[in-house]
Amino acid sequence: MKKFSIGLLAVLFVFTLSSSAFTAEKYGKPDKVTKWVFQPCFDSSDAGWANGIVPWIKAVEEATEGSIKIKLEPAGAITSGSEAFGATAAGMLDVYAGWATVYGGDMPEGMLAFGMAMGASNHRDSWAAMFGDPKYRIGDLVQAAANDRNLQWVGWTCQGPNSMFSKFPINKMEDLVGKKMRAGGPHALFHAAMGGAPVSMGGGDIYTALKLGTIDGTYWDTGGIDDMAFQEVIKYASLPGWCPAQHQEIYLNLDQWKGLNQWQRDKISGIFMSTYFETSRMHSAGVDEALEILKKAGGEVITMSEDEVKKMRAKAIKDVWPKVAEKSDRAAKGVALWKEFLKDIGDI
């Protein structure tokens, strides 16, 4: 009888612990408020600030009913822009935003999300390839790579075309031969493949380099050229540029992600798609506005012919995409899926 009583008490004790754990993990808004520090690799002068990360922060805070509060800081407030991705993985920062982990150096699979050279033509096609169509799901490869680096990919926005802004007209790829253009990472691979001379430099040095003639032009997201006052020192904008649909990603420290309850994680996952389309539309409007500013300043907008775009795409797929694929096994798989997607929609 005594043994039975002890056994019964043990069972009741375990049940009590299980019930307590279940209660603690109940689905819904938690009692505590989680606070994050968000530092992207850029500051408020970048188009991605107001049209990308600010709407995402608002959506997260609203979706989680105030149980998550996010403090936004500019690059340099806590760490440099170039170090912000690694600092987020290490837990020094909670949230980061940038482009392919600053052009893929720390995570080459990020280039699959940033935008392939002459790849998807718009944000709708990009979404279909990355998440919308189960045949491809390239985004899963990026998420797996992020998880391996102690990060969770939580946000994404299309900034429109990353175009060519220059002192000389660019109507065809041969016009780039021998030209010195500021280019980094994947756009440097593209420019070199087109016969140009890519020049690496920080964003803050581009205006002066253009004014002095040190470079002939630059690759830049179209909606951000007026923020950089490029219309004062360049004459031409050639579209669709090297990437018709450039993207910016947001990553959260994985430990912070795991520290949330399931309700909070579901809420954040739930706004991924809606904020993508909202911010992509905002960037699209910014592109139109920036090009109008350029034209009013005396500049000219060149839209390349369909035949020329096809030629540049074919060369990019032949000479640039393999350089992305060789970075990792996941990158190679993603490049193959991107190629399959473009074939299926008739772009190649």
Q: How far apart are the first and last CA of the chain?
A: 80
Mean pLDDT of 39-43: 95
Domain presence at residue 1? no
- Read off the tokens for 190: 């593209």
The answer on pLDDT for 21 being more than 60 is no
Over pLDDT 90: what percentage of the chain? 86
pLDDT at 202: 86
Confidence (pLDDT) at 24:
54
Tally of domains in the chain: 1
Task: List pLDDT tens digits, range 208-241.
Answer: 999 999 999 999 999 988 889 999 999 999 999 9
Find how far residue 20's CA is from the centre of its chain.
41
Asked whether residue 145 is domain-assigned, the answer is yes
Is 14 a domain residue? Answer: no
Examine the pLDDT at 20 and tell me if it is beyond 80. no
pLDDT digits (tens, 9 = 90+) for 158-186: 999 999 999 999 999 999 999 999 998 88
How far apart CA 197 and CA 180 sit, in angstroms, is 5
pLDDT average, residue stretch 333-348: 97
Q: Would the pLDDT of 35 be above 80?
A: yes
- Residue among 251, 302, 264, 297 nearest 86 (CA): 251
Question: Does position 9 have pLDDT exceeding 90, yes or no?
Answer: no
Per-residue exposure over 223-245, b if at least 16 CB sit within 10 Å of its own CB, e if not: bbbbbbebbebbbbbbbbbbbbb
Q: What is the pLDDT of residues 122-149, one digit of tens each?
A: 999 999 999 999 999 999 999 999 999 9
- 99-134 core/surface letters (b: 16 or more CB in 10 A; e: else): bbbbbbbbbbbbbbbbbbbbbbbebebbbbbbbeee
Give the model confidence (pLDDT) of 205-214 as tens digits: 999 999 999 9
Q: Which two structure tokens, joined as six digits, stand for 273? A: 């798609």
Q: What is the pLDDT of residue 204?
A: 87
301 pLDDT band, cuts 50/70/90, is very high
Q: Quick one: average pLDDT of 2-24?
A: 41
According to the model, what pLDDT value does residue 103 have? Answer: 84
Tens digit of each residue's pLDDT (9 = 90 or more) over 89-106: 999 999 999 998 888 889
Q: Cα–Cα distance between 181 and 209 in angstroms, integer? A: 10
* Full-model pTM: 0.90
Per-residue pLDDT tens for 43-90? 998 889 999 999 999 999 999 999 999 999 999 999 999 999 999 999
- What pLDDT is stored for residue 298 in this prediction? 96
16 has pLDDT over 80: no
User: What is the residue range of 57's domain?
Assistant: 32-344
Mean pLDDT of the 300-313 span: 96
Instruction: Check residue 319 and give its pLDDT.
Output: 97
pLDDT of residue 26: 87
**CA–CA separation, 181 and 192 (whole Å):** 10
| pLDDT at 23 exceeding the cut of 80 | no
Residue 301 belongs to a domain = yes
**What is the rounded distance in angstroms from the CA atom of residue 155 to the CA atom of residue 58?**
12
Quote the mean pLDDT of the chain.
92
**pLDDT value of residue 69:** 98
| Contact (Cβ atoms closer than 8 angstroms) between residue 315 and residue 194 | yes
CATH number at residue 209: 3.40.190.170
Residue 139 lies in a domain: yes
